[in-house]
Amino acid sequence: MSNEVMSVLKRDYIYNLMLKGNRADGRSFDEIRDIEVKTNVIDKAEGSAWVKIGETEVLAGVKLQAGAPFPDSPGEGVIITSLELNPIASPDFEAGPPRENAIEMARVTDRGVRESGAIDLSKLCITEGEEVWIVFIDIHVLNNSGNIQDASSLGAIAALLTTTIPMERAGKGEDMAMPIKDMPLSVTVINIGGSLMVDPGLDEETVCDTKITIVSNQDGSISGMQKSGDGALTEEQLLKAVSLACQKASELREAHLLNI
């Protein structure tokens, strides 16, 4: 049976379930899969976190290095985010340079951290115009069962919350905690046949009409948004997706981040 026929059958199955108000794994449309978060899992990193959403697993690590600031922000630290789709995570992932979707997911995660002001970058300045701390956020996908984006977002902020700036090692004084001001989280919503669902599994992600990732901050403001897929959302659907994403992000924050 061809991949195209399999895709049609898969879509019909998921669509028919949706018409009955069901999903393949038994969740409600607004229900996120079970989540596990473990921090300080990489000894050599300044901060780290392992996140599992359903069967999707990611590992996030934070490393810091002193370096030159950007010319337009001489008194602020620098954030650099990367994401690697390891071949062990899925037969669809190949070794080699980052693919377009990996770069896109890294940018969404980076944008959420940057635009929310999650890190007080002014406190990462060592000597204005000369030397600042560069924050490297590296995310490795260990298993793909759908919705890598939200797992990466949660992993990144959990790792940052555990990060210690190695001042002593660099001869800059006493070590200090990463100056965190906010905890942005992404929640991905898909549209299948006019119905919105959060936290898509791999099959749902594959057959959905539209996917939109919304990054929200603790006060409910939006710091990032990314849409993919050929379908469109009505204004009503978009507003509903934003409201749903903010609500779910608040629940995730309370359940998995506030006690780190």
What is the SS3 string spanning 168-180?
A: CCCCCCCCEECCE
Q: How confident is the model at residue 88 (pLDDT cuts 50, 70, 90)?
A: confident
Spatial separation of the C-alpha atoms in residues 143 and 152, rounded to whole Å: 12
- Evaluate the CA torsion angle 123, 129, 131, 135 in order and state its sign: positive
For 82-103, b where at least 16 C-beta lie within 10 A, e where not — what string?
Answer: ebbbeeebeeebeeeeeeeebe
Helix (H) or strand (E) holding 117: none
Q: Is residue 249 part of a domain?
A: yes
Confirm whether 22 is domain-assigned.
no
pLDDT tens-digit map of 60-70 = 999 999 999 99
2 within some domain: no
In this structure, is residue 71 part of a structural domain? yes
Q: Write down the pTM of the prediction.
A: 0.94
pLDDT band at 4 (very low <50, low <70, confident <90, very high): low
**Structure confidence at residue 100 (pLDDT):** 86
Q: 148: helix, coil or strand?
A: helix
Considering its fold, how many domains does the chain have in total?
Answer: 1
Mean pLDDT over 25-48 rounds to 97
Residue 181: inside a domain, yes or no? yes
3 confidence band (pLDDT: 50, 70, 90):
low
| Domain-embedded: residue 196 | yes
Mean pLDDT value of segment 127-147: 97
Instruction: Provide the domain limits for residue 101.
Output: 28-256
Q: Is residue 248 situated within a structural domain? A: yes
Task: Check which CATH number belongs to the domain holding 227 and give it.
Answer: 3.30.230.70
What phi and psi, each to the nearest 5 degrees, are found at residue 76?
-130, 150
Which letter does DSSP use for residue 258 in this model? T
Is there a domain that residue 3 lies in?
A: no
